[in-house]
Structures are given as C-alpha cells and as structure tokens.
Amino acid sequence: MNNSVGFIGTGNMGGALAKAAARAVASEALFVADKFADKAEALAAELGCKAVAAEEIAKNCDFIVLGVKPQMLAALLQELKPVLNARTDEFTLVSMAAGVAMADIQKMVGAEYPVIRIMPNTPVAVGQGMVLYDHTDNVSEEALAAFCEFMGYAGRLDPLPEKLIDAGSAVSGCGPAFACLFMEALADGGVACGLPRAKAMEYAAQMLLGTAALALESGQHPGQMKDAVCSPGGSTIAGVRALEQGGFRAAAMNAVEEAYYRTLELGK
Ligand SMILES: NC(=O)c1ccc[n+]([C@@H]2O[C@H](COP(=O)([O-])OP(=O)(O)OC[C@H]3O[C@@H](n4cnc5c(N)ncnc54)[C@H](OP(=O)(O)O)[C@@H]3O)[C@@H](O)[C@H]2O)c1
C-alpha cells in the first residue's frame, strides 16, 4: 500500500499493532515514536523502519495511530494539536484508547479530523487478534480500505457501532484473561490426573485454539459441538456436569457483564 503509517506509543498494544502493520506497509512508509526513544528505536530496528519524534508522525503520516494510555491521550494531543492544525492534506487519526469516544478525540484536537476507533486484544501480537472498529463519517472509502489492509494482519476485523464497542470489548478485549484462567484451570486438572505441567498446558492451549478455529470455520453452534463430543454415559458428559455444578456458565456470563459495567464506570 502507498499510505504512510505512524505509531505514537509503542508499548504492548501499539508495538504489537506496528508489527502487524509492518507486513503491509513498506518500511520507508512506517514510523514509530515513543516517549522512551530507546523503545521506539529497538522496535524500528526489528521492523526495519524509522523511529522519529511524535511531531514528525503528526506532521507527515497519512495514518496517525495513537497507542498511549487513555489518561495520557489528552496531553499528547494537546502537544500535537498545532502540528495537526497546520496540515492542509488529508490524514486519519486511529485511536485504540479504551473508553475514549471519537468525539472526545476530535474535541482534544479542536477539529473534526477523520477518526477511526479500534478495540484490539492481546492476540494481535501473533496475528490472531480481534479488532473491533468504528469511524467518523468523514473517513474516506480509500482511507478505510487502506486501514483494513494494514490492520488486517493483526487478526480478524469487525466494524461495530461505537455504542457497542464497550460491550464487544468485554468479550474480546477482556476475554483473553478469562480464557487464560480456563486454560490454566484445565492444565491444573491435567496435573492432578498425573500429567507433567508442560504437557498439560500445551494440550489445554492447543485444544482451546483448535476448538475456536473449528467453531469459526464450521459456523457450528458451540452447543452442537459439545453434543458431538459427549457420548451417552461417557466421560465428557460427566465433566460437563461437573462444570454445570460449579456454575461455570453463570460465572462466565457474570465475568463479561462485570467487565462491561466496570468499563462504563471507568469511562465516566
Ligand atoms: N493492552 C491491551 O490489552 C489493550 C487492549 C485494547 C486497547 N488497549 C489500548 O492500547 C493503548 C496502549 O495500551 P498499552 O497496554 O499498550 O500501554 P503501554 O504498554 O503503557 O504503552 C503505551 C506507550 O506509550 C508511551 N507514551 C506515553 N506518552 C507518550 C507520548 N506523549 N509520546 C509518545 N509515547 C508516549 C508509553 O511510554 P511510558 O511507558 O514512558 O509512559 C508507552 O511506551 C491504551 O489506550 C489502551 O487502552 C490496550
């Protein structure tokens, strides 16, 4: 693609997304910046791109990806505002800040620049993320297509109205922590049955990966997939009953709802 993309804030999420984007964006069109220049330079060396000052990205890039923590965003945009306001060409701001609305970003920069809001999750680091996104009406079709091209390497992209992003995030953004708890608990069960820890972890992780892939690829309902593994009077249905006795489904539903309410609280 021909567009230039700059990442400001190369921490966990910004860094992971920059790595994904590097697969679509030519190295001379990819830029990274961080408060800690060393951090940006190490990432730039890994990706074969350039580490620059945040102002340079704000001045020149077609896509300016904001990867700082939500509480740092206002200060960063205050700093970049004069540089952005001096531009006469078209550019798009991409924000990953949890709980910050697109209208808030526009207020922070004092102009209605095109904004794409994304909600990624940690598996973007291995190209298996879930990236929810919405955009302001003034994002051009070309810009959206270019965004989908470079963000596509982070995983699965799904357009979602902004009012649902917090709900989506409670499943896909917070979900890796819930899935990890399940994964660890399954491995603990394996160890209790005599498996070495490393093997139990590997089996649990690959089983979750494979089951998710099967659900997505086949389009089967999880209930149907569960039924297919449960033979009458067999061992799997005995395990299913144990999970039901432990209130597993209610616990998982409550986890998502609690995470959602907490996001709403933090956004106030
Ligand atoms: N992690 C997740 O699972 C996840 C999921 C969805 C969305 N997000 C969003 O992703 C964003 C980043 O989160 P994170 O977990 O990646 O945080 P992080 O690891 O702390 O990364 C933020 C980076 O930005 C740098 N930074 C701060 N102010 C800066 C400035 N003015 N100019 C340039 N760089 C600056 C930070 O440097 P310092 O360390 O020196 O402050 C840090 O390296 C947040 O908005 C978060 O809501 C994260």
- Is the Cβ–Cβ distance between 225 and 215 less than 8 Å? yes
3-class DSSP state for residue 71?
helix
Give the residue, by CA position, lying nearest to ligand 1 atom 27: 68
Say which residue the tokens 């091209």 belong to. 149
| Each residue's pLDDT tens digit, 223-264 | 999 999 999 999 999 999 999 999 999 999 999 999 999 999
Ligand 1 centre distance from Cα of residue 97 (Å): 8
Give Cβ neighbours of residue 71 (< 8 Å, ≥ 6 apart): none
Partner residues linked to 129 by β-bridges: 155
pLDDT of residue 1: 79
Q: Whose CA is nearest to atom 24 of ligand 1?
A: 9
- Distance separating alpha carbons of residues 17 and 176, to the nearest angstrom: 17
90 alpha carbon – ligand 1 mean position (Å): 25
- Cβ proximity of 7 and 29 under 8 Å: no
Residue 231: what pLDDT?
97
How many angstroms does the Cα of residue 199 sit away from the middle of ligand 1?
34
Ligand 1 pocket: which of 7, 13, 81 to mutate (most atoms <8 Å of CB)? Answer: 13
Ligand 1 closest atom vs CA 13: 16
pTM for this predicted structure: 0.94
Which residue's C-alpha comes closest to atom 29 of ligand 1? Answer: 35
Distance 78 CA to ligand 1 centre (A): 17
Q: What is the pLDDT of residue 250?
A: 98
Amino acid, res. 240: V
DSSP 112-179: ---EEEEE--GGGGGT-EEEEEEE-TTS-HHHHHHHHHHHGGGEEEEE--GGGHHHHHHHHTTHHHHH
Q: What is the pLDDT of residue 158?
A: 98
Check residue 50 and give its pLDDT: 96
**Cα separation, 117 vs 73, whole angstroms:** 13
Q: Which of 17, 19, 32, 35 to mutate to test the pocket of ligand 1 (most atoms within 8 A of CB)?
A: 35
pLDDT score of 267? 75
Query: Can you tell me the distance from the alpha carbon of 217 to that of 153, in angstroms, rounded to the nearest whole number?
Result: 18
Cβ atoms within 10 Å, residue 21 = 27
- Ligand 1 neighbourhood includes 34 CB (under 6 angstroms): yes
**How much is the pLDDT for 159?**
98
Q: What local confidence, expressed as pLDDT, does residue 225 receive? A: 98
Two tokens at 218? Answer: 């086949």
Helix axes 12-21, 37-47, angle to 10 degrees: 30
pLDDT under 50: residue ranges of the chain = none
